[in-house]
Amino acid sequence: MTLPQGIRTQQDIEQIETADLATHNLPQSTYEALSRGAARNPEAPALSFFLSAQQMDNPYVLSHGQLLARVTQTANALRRLGIGRDDVVAYVLPNLPETHFTIWGGSAAGSVLAINPLLDAEQIGELLAAAGTKVLITLEQSPGVDIWEKVSVAARAVPSLEHVLVCGFGPYVAGDGVWRDSPAPAPQPIDGVSAPVTRLLDEIAQEDGSALGFEAPGPNDTSTMLCTGGTTGLPKIVRRTHFSEVYNSWAASLYSPDAWGPGRTAFCGLPLFHTNAMMVTGLLPWMSGGHVLLATPGGYRGQDVIARFWDVVERYKVSMFSGVPTIYGALLQVPRDGRDLSSVQFGLCGAAPMPVELFNSFVAETGIKIVEAYGMTEGAVGSSLNPIYTDAPRVGSIGLRFPYQQMAIAIMDDNDTFERWADVDEAGVILISGPNVFNGYLIDSQNKGIWVEQDGKRWFNSGDLARRDAEGYFWMTGRKKELIIRGGHNIDPKIVEEVMHKHPAVAMAAVVGRPDAKVGEVPVMYFQVAAGQAADVADLAEFAATHVHERAAVPKDYIVLDALPVTAVGKIHKVSLNMMEIERAVRTEAEATGADLASVEVVQDSARGVVAKAVVASGLDALQKSLGQYAFACDLQQAAQA
């Protein structure tokens, strides 16, 4: 069937679905997807990489044919090293070309576990052991980076480990764009670990890159395993199939089919242990024959990457990039006078709500569209996306559902049991069902309660709250469980609370997000003082800094209450604390802008979630603009004149 040139309405989605999904003849594995993309033009550039912003004019470039050959060599090398279909290759790496070789070659040979390098050694070891990791691919000892030091400790806790492969910055230090595949002497073994240590590039150099030396993976085989649940605590390991990733990339492309193909460049600045970077600025453009620009090992965090971002856009004719709201806020401060940004079709935003003021300011000042989306690791990457070809974006909406994936709002009871489907504009829990939905968490005990059987289908309970309007657009009204989203990173408050409950002065603690104009939210802690103890905030702060492993999760404030608010069954009612923090933000901004508040209250709205309502005696416009920096909903009214 003929597909629409960009999904614009719910009716477009329904029209696509009049044909069975099988009629679209999608690749059955990510390896097949890469192969088809390469076949369009093997000589076209597929991957460009530079080690630092200062080297941006001399990138290391692989054509589609060369990239596929490297992936194939990696898969064959891993199979030679003992990786079978049911075995696990894990990586702890920054953004390097070798990271992509590992992801796609590893998932062709077996399955791949992605691990956040910012985790501490103990957490890395627990994840590696939980997955039964057989081969680990990581960064060699490198100045200014502690990955090797942490991995060396973590590896001792992984009895299944049989081989360690390392790669490094050496091949790219010259900055002259010349590939060097044998950069250094043999690496040293890890003390206390029997698994040999060799170089990834040396291993793949021994292999044929023209074809896999074994049967290719099937659609239902596990491809990648990603971790979700935050940068603190032990995340859950999400198992995704090959077809879930292929389908999801294809479905996302239907919203903007001319943004991904030959001659188009997707900028990758997010970390490659995250599904957005892996899929949206990896598999999606490659299976379409497009080009990916991998900007430094640190991505957006790399030195001068933000400062020179518009130079990069002009130099590489970037067509799209993806980021969280804090990235857009930072880019808005970078001068762009005289830069040709006409190649950019849109910027994609997800992971955290986009403040309305930031959205409007960015679009007005840069002329670049922002497209908001919704997704999760458990759904490959995306579940809904706003139409790109529209002159009237619905700011704040997370868009229309993907074709062939059902996304619905359910009313659940206090025990998280399905009661009924929500009415139009009625808030409830997002459930998804379709070819992108994962196979469940690796640890079976974590799968309890995540599925809902309804209408003859199995639905994944996201835990996120939203409503669906009459035109099919979804609007978030709450957030998954109690996660705090700081600059796009998830922080699990329970992990912080468990640590702080060990402090003798803390009888009960609750960590919630405080609205923050720069990073979306920062964690703060409300607590009750234990009997016979005195509360010393400085001591609590020092205790948290010492014992909370992830720096971003350390509370930024400590507020003592005589009693924490609780529900009828005695659970801490965190919504009340969230509402207190929103009111605090309104009052703080009123003071900063000189606005005179006649009244302010924070309420729960059935359609919009938590809303701050204020009557302003004076300074309404300034306060309205200032509060536009935040993601929470506001209703401000001018006080009646006496």
C-alpha distance from residue 202 to each of 50, 186, 212, 493 (Å): 21, 9, 18, 43
- pLDDT tens digits, one per residue of 479-507: 666 788 888 777 878 888 888 988 999 98
What structural domains and CATH numbers belong to the chain?
Answer: 63-217 (3.40.50.12780), 403-468 (2.30.38.10), 486-564 (3.30.300.30), 575-638 (3.30.300)
Residue 231 has pLDDT above 60, yes or no: no
Q: How far apart are CA 282 and CA 293, in angstroms?
A: 9
Burial class (CB in 10 A: 0-12, 13-18, 19+), 144: exposed
Question: Is 374 in contact with 397 (CB distance < 8 Å)?
Answer: no
Residue type, 190: I
- Here the tokens at position 333 are 């401060």
Quick one: pLDDT band at residue 181, thresholds 50, 70, 90? confident
For 532-575, what is each residue's pLDDT tens digit? 888 889 999 999 999 988 888 999 999 999 988 876 556 788 88
Query: Does residue 229 have a pLDDT over 70?
Result: no
pLDDT in tens, 281-298: 999 999 999 999 999 999
Q: What is the DSSP letter of 211?
A: S
Reduce the secondary structure of 544-588 to three states and give it as a string: HHHHCCCHHHCCCCEEECCCCCECCCCCECHHHHHHHHHHHHHHH
Residue type, 329: G
Residue 642 has pLDDT above 90, yes or no: no
DSSP secondary structure letters along 299-348: GGGSTTTTTTHHHHHHHHTEEEEEE-HHHHHHHHTS--TT---TT--EEE
pTM above 0.75, yes or no: yes
Angle made by CA atoms 573, 447, 436, in degrees to the nearest 5: 105
Tens-place pLDDT, residues 118-150: 888 988 999 999 999 999 999 999 998 999 999
Q: What is the pLDDT of residue 360?
A: 87
Q: Name residue, tokens 């309205």.
A: 624
